[in-house]
């Protein structure tokens, strides 16, 4: 692939994200299936619905740009999902397993937050306001998914989180 302009780079980065998101659509049901706490299972299922939406938003941007999403495999996401799938093979205390699933999922969210931060910034530089807005919406959802996982791990005023429970 030729990278001669910021626009080329934006398209390349979007293709990488499209691969990442489609891989995640396949992986999230497995993480949800392995979670013991209902709250965590619900969070994974909710994020699965959002992730499908993230794929659609990327496809909308590709059509706006007159490009196609295919071609790239996001190796970073492949590795992160492989690590998450290692947790699925592990046995032990279900609450500790849930804490391990959160650890794997938060790595994924941070990776996506980095990717969307980049493409949103590039779209802004290129005066692609519609794309910038769509990418900003997804970026917010990735951040919220990450915060929700932190909350499930650490608890709140009225309940202890998975980490405290795992310590007991």
Report the 3 state secondary structure along 28-78. Answer: HHHHHHHCCCHHHHHHHHHHHHHHHHHHHHHHHHHHHHCCCCCCCCCHHHH
The SS3 of residue 90 is coil
Q: CB of residue 21 vs Fe ion: minimum separation in angstroms?
A: 5
Residues that bind Fe ion (CB under 5 A): 51, 54
Specify the residue, 51 or 95, whose C-beta has the smaller distance to Fe ion.
Answer: 51
Specify the residue, 100 or 116, whose C-beta has the smaller distance to Fe ion.
Answer: 116
Q: CB of residue 10 vs Fe ion: minimum separation in angstroms?
A: 17
- Helical pair 6-34 and 94-125, crossing angle rounded to 10 deg: 160
User: What's the rounded Cα separation, in Å, for the pair 126 and 146?
Assistant: 28
Nearest Cα residue to 99 out of 51, 156, 146, 167: 167
Residue nearest to Fe ion (CB): 54
Q: CB of residue 54 vs Fe ion: minimum separation in angstroms?
A: 4
Specify the residue, 10 or 135, whose C-beta has the smaller distance to Fe ion.
Answer: 135
Specify the residue, 73 or 160, whose C-beta has the smaller distance to Fe ion.
Answer: 73
Q: CB of residue 113 vs Fe ion: minimum separation in angstroms?
A: 9
């Amino acid at each position: 692939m030729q990278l001669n302009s910021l626009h080329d780079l934006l398209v390349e980065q979007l293709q990488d994200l499209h691969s990442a998101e489609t891989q995640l659509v396949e992986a999230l049901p497995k993480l949800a299936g392995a979670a013991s706490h209902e709250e965590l299972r619900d969070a994974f299922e909710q994020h699965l619905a959002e992730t499908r939406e993230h794929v659609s938003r990327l496809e909308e941007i590709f059509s706006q740009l007159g490009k196609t999403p295919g071609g790239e495999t996001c190796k970073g996401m492949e590795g992160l999902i492989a690590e998450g799938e290692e947790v699925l093979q592990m046995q032990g205390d279900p609450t500790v397993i849930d804490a391990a699933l959160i650890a794997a999922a938060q790595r994924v969210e941070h990776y996506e937050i980095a990717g969307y931060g980049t493409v949103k910034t590039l779209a802004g530089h290129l005066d692609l306001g519609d794309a910038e807005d769509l990418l900003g919406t997804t970026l917010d959802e990735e951040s919220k998914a990450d915060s929700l996982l932190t909350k499930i791990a650490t608890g709140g005023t009225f309940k202890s989180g998975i980490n405290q429970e795992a310590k007991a």
